[in-house]
Homo-oligomer: A and B are copies of this chain.
Amino acid sequence: MSEADWELATVLGVLHREMGAIYAQVARDFELTWQQVELLCQLNDASPSFGELARALGCDKSNVTGMVDRLARRGLVRRESDPHDRRVIRLTRTEQGAALGEQIQAAIAELLAQRFVNLSADDRRHLITLSQRALAALAAAG
């Protein structure tokens, strides 16, 4: 393993922790857990099944039931049965859930813009480009 590999792991680790703190802050501002925010973000333009949600969130499908229950109790999401397969339930946001989801994403972008105010426009542009390439590399590597 090269020196650069160690440096990459170190700096990405610290950045990951900082980003986690930022997301946790926003979630708490909206009285949600960050897992609930993650789930809500999966419903931006899709109506995933519970199994698809579990895979996207990296948890077991049995956990999704409870998380959805809690969001449904607050009127943010709604279960809808799949017409093609009556075993499957698809999850959609309610109007209230969609409105809240957009507020949350705006709050995240706003907070990031504030916290990165000391990063020059050039650096910010490069950071976006390189992060996109990094994501493409991750996708290619599987």
Partner of A109, one of B1, B114, B137: B1
For the side of the interface on A, what is the size category? 35 or more
- In residues 7-42 of chain A, which contact B (Cβ within 8 Å)? 7-9, 11-21, 23-24, 38, 41
Partner of A123, one of B11, B115, B134: B134
Question: Are A18 and B135 in contact (CB-based, < 8 A)?
Answer: yes
CA distance A58 to B130 in the complex (A): 29
Question: A1, A114, A130: which has the most chain B beta carbons within 10 Å?
Answer: A130
Residues of chain A at the chain B interface (Cβ within 8 Å): 1-2, 4-9, 11-21, 23-24, 38, 41, 58, 105-106, 108-110, 112-119, 121, 123-128, 130-138, 140-141
